[in-house]
Structure 1
């Protein structure tokens, strides 16, 4: 899609119906229409006008094409759903907040210091405080979702400047005589920017394996915590119900599959449009447009919730015609009838995450999950076992948790940060929906396409019997838990590669990619050894049924074997996102999942009679091929092409930012 220029005001006076057929660039035209209808009373302080504003002026960080601030893009708040690694397209570079800009300047300062371009910060005895070393470590954490036109660009997370304390003798490949009269910490941002530009142009910015391992490790740790906490919302019910019986375990697995395909994936996919709309609104200088975009999405998702609720309410009859086990279908339908009460809250939470993300606030989701995830586990145990409510207790716990998620997020916004973009109730929230929906549909299709491939396995296992369905539920849960480690690692690698590519540091980006690859190998081998060693013990954590435990123990070695491929596939997708070649991973994965994996799994399961083992055979082969094909592509890719594309997009963003300022002045 070409450059998005804001068009004249006469073109913005478009009624609701015409918004679906507007030929202007989708997001830009939507923001322009909102700006045209904005009144003076709606205005919030401009970026430089208020000391309390969180935004940073556009022109302040795009003057240097090689700067980390200029190449910066935020990580998207995508949700960890199944093994979905294709992050939907949103296509916009975001405006930095003041704190993000400062972090980028500090990152440049440390890179210059490490390469001996400027004196180290401790040159004059200035200590490194612990607060600086850990500052913002948790703020990189996210929850679900999705990213930019080249999703790699949206996954460029804020670098952690104080993670790179102290220069090592090994980090400097070239040295110069430094002015000892001024330490690096005393230099202003303009001086840092000038020296950075000179150093990059001279090829003096280098990195090492040790340095990149430290950065990627600290990037990924908070992400791992976030993903594990978010996935625990689903796992808690399976853990709790599994010991009631294999029918109950099969039912909760079937219900969870339905929730993922028809509920969570729908909300997560549609909400990806806010990654573009809220970010552009924030960059326009009209902060309350961010809240307006979020409010539109909330109302839209609530409308979508109506057919979802109807589907879940009558799901017992639908599932009874799909799966052969009537009792399992009945219990799954009961679960869904209760769980539908939590869908409005989950829809609000998905929208609220992206509302805060557009403002550069990433820690909110983690803090909310730190509160709600343990509470969800406790409520599952309390209702199912303590109060003896049995099966029905699990969905009740889920409903309470999903209702609390947006409430906790609202409390965070009200008392801490993010309220400056709230617009309040407005009739405009029911107007100009066309661009939002047009941006949302591609994200929905991509997320659904990936999750459906893995959820089909659960549905197929129901035709093997109740024990097999329960065993498949446990195996899928175990594989998803182990996947929560390499996937955040791939996000960290993608973030680092993308930032370095944007700063035109190709060699440093390649070094970072190699470190990320080695990290994926280590994580994959760790998961492999763990599952192989504990294959007789892990199944008992989920079920007390001997037959189910035996089936899981037999298939776990195969699941353990492809853990290495799983980690490498996630890593390769991360590097592709960092290079801006996300579409390659999308084509490869969708082809291998649907053309290779699914037919092979069905053939070995039913035609050859391999049972549950056959279901995972196709998956194992597909993951191996994904890692092989994408690895070969990455090794032969033109990394300089990614640099040129990054510079082009930065120039395009600069032009649109200046044009936006002109509109504000008019």
Structure 2
């Protein structure tokens, strides 16, 4: 009775409503989830004998979620970087303009839209676990409507990017060039508005690999089109940013075609519905809380770089911090993949009324992410004296980077835990609470402490980073404490109440 296969034969769905044999995605996933809960609940078998089969089931579920998610986020990251590289070959001014447009303006829209899309992650994940499949399509449409409306004020900000940049102290020459680049990113805003709800809609069903394949194909097309439009057609900065926008729309269209045509989505996508226009104000509240939660984290680390620019010798500080944050950004993509996996697993299990599976999933994904981050941190420390030469040949910068590497390694370890716990928070629907925690820890403790250590105690970039890292550690400790003390049976009940509220008291979808 102790094997994973024995347990996995017990179906999650009631015998009166079994999934069709042709729809293997529902069958295999739900059987695995039911098997996990059965193993964890079977007190007739010692826990140490149940631990192996349970861990194996959870590991397989996490791997199929996290690995493709990491690929998707890495490819998105590479697409923006490649646009910067193409722009950089036009000249130093173009490189500065593209960098400012990408990291200063576009990242704001990206964080806002991705954060708002997390509301879909909570609701779709829990509805899918509960077997209320038709509601996923409604949530997808509601979120797309709200994000598209949010895109309107963002578009206005993009149009007036030049005076905004001048107000922030940028030189007129760079602000002028950056505004041209930003104009070409306006279509990308609305691609985000559709893409992130679609992405969360698919992730909630553990459909992640198709998005990875689509993103990989779009990256190849993006590189070819960038070369054609920027160099051959001579469209310059505007051509580079328009190509990036077009590439995002290619991803959106391909994913939507997949949803409409795929057998795996035939129960969750049932066409456009007027129900999508109901309950938008309440849906906006959850989306706004999700956006605030994510944006507060995104802006926090941008402020680190901005503060470094105010130091007495800003060039070396900015160069060394830029290298460290770039390395951290690449590693962070792995954590984001685990963040998505944690959110999907927890929300699915809560919706399916499997409290033990939800709690067990949190432990497994956190431990796995932590182990990987520790390994990467050790590698960074081993290469601390040479790692900067991948970016620059300057010995002074190399010494500064080597000096910051212990902090970089500690940040990588913390990022192996914190994003996963944020994913758990999204899966449970705790976005509003975590937003308050982020405000207190990041902006009430981290930034003031960083300013004191960096400027008052004259510790420079290292002092700023240490202080802000203190805020991150405090936030992580609070999330760990809350997660450890969570009553998962209560969370199951809360998930049920949330689904009843958001589906307008409709009955679960019954399949023929």
Question: Normalising TM by the smaller chain, what interval?
Answer: 0.7 to 0.9
Encode CA deviations 1:606-627: one digit per residue, 9 max, x unaligned: 4455444344222332333344
> TM-score normalised to the size of structure 2?
0.74
Unaligned runs of at least 5 residues, structure 1: 1-66, 72-95, 113-195
- Residue 625 of structure 1 corresponds to 474
Q: How many residues were matched structurally?
A: 485
* 1:372 counterpart residue number: 218
Alpha-carbon separation, structure 2, partners of 1:526 and 1:413? 37
Match of 2:51 in 1: 208
Match of 2:168 in 1: 322
Tell me, yes or no, if the aligned pair for 2:428 and 2:495 is still in contact at 8 Å. Answer: no
Are 1:488 and 2:337 counterparts?
yes
SS in 2 for 1:485: helix
Q: TM-score, normalised by structure 1?
A: 0.59
1:447 corresponds in structure 2 to: 294
1-structure distance, mates of 2:497, 2:266: 31
List per-residue Cα deviations over 1:275-318 (Å, max 9, x = no partner). Answer: 5777899999895x865665555454444333322211221221
Instruction: Indicate how the Cα distance of structure 1 residues 234 and 606 shifts in structure 2: closer, same or farther if over 3 A, else same.
Output: farther
| Alignment partner of 1:230 is 2:76 | yes
Alpha carbons 1:531, 1:556 under 8 Å: kept:
yes
- 1:256 is matched with 102
Deviation at 1:349, TM superposition (A): 1.8
Cα–Cα, structure 1 residues 242 and 525, in superposed 2: closer, same or farther, change >3 Å?
farther
Equivalent residues in 2 for 1:526-545 (5 A)? 526-535=375-384, 537-542=386-391
Q: 1:214–1:631: structure 2 CA closer, same or farther, 3 Å change rule? A: same
Q: Judging changes above 3 Å, is the alpha-carbon distance between structure 1 residues 235 and 365 closer, same or farther for their aligned structure 2 residues?
A: same
- C-alpha root-mean-square deviation of aligned residues, in Å? 4.8
Show CA shifts across 1:483-534 (max 9, x none). 122343355456667777853548x945x65554543442222222332344
| 2-structure distance, mates of 1:396, 1:68 | 49
Inter-CA distance 311–571: structure 2 relative to 1 (3 Å threshold): closer
Change (3 A) 1:455 1:281: same
Would the aligned equivalents of 2:115 and 2:293 in 1 still touch at CA under 8 Å?
Answer: yes
1:564 maps to which of 405, 408, 413: 413
Question: Where does the alignment leave 5 or more consecutive residues of structure 2 unmatched?
Answer: 1-9
Residue number in structure 1 paired with 2:249? 403
CA separation of 1:593 and 1:536: change in aligned 2, threshold 3 A: same
Cross-structure match for 2:303: 456
Distance 2:503 2:43 in 1: 26
Change (3 A) 1:468 1:341: farther
Distance in 2 between the 1:489 and 1:663 partners?
30
Structure 2 distance, partners of 1:437, 1:331, is 35
Mapped contact 1:269–1:444 kept (Cα < 8 A): yes
Larger helix percent: 2
Structure of larger gyration radius: 1
Please give the alpha-carbon distance, in whole angstroms, between the structure 2 residues aligned to 1:197 and 1:203.
9
Structure 1 residues 410 and 658 mapped into 2: Cα distance closer, same or farther (>3 Å)? closer
Partner Cα distance (1:323, 1:534) in 2:
37
- What is the 5 A alignment of 1:100-499? 101-107=26-32, 196=38, 200=42, 202=44, 207-208=50-51, 212=55, 215-216=58-59, 218-219=63-64, 220-238=66-84, 250-260=96-106, 262-275=108-121, 287=134, 294-295=140-141, 297-354=143-200, 356=202, 361-377=207-223, 379=225, 394-417=240-263, 418=265, 421=269, 423=271, 433-463=280-310, 469=318, 472-489=321-338, 491-492=340-341
Q: Does the CA contact (< 8 Å) of 2:127 and 2:499 recur in 1?
A: no
Residue 430 of structure 1, CA deviation: 6.7
Distance in 1, Cα, partners of 2:140 & 2:346:
30
- Most deviating of 598-607 and 376-385: 376-385
2:354 corresponds to: 503
Q: What is the SS of the residue equivalent to 2:180?
A: helix
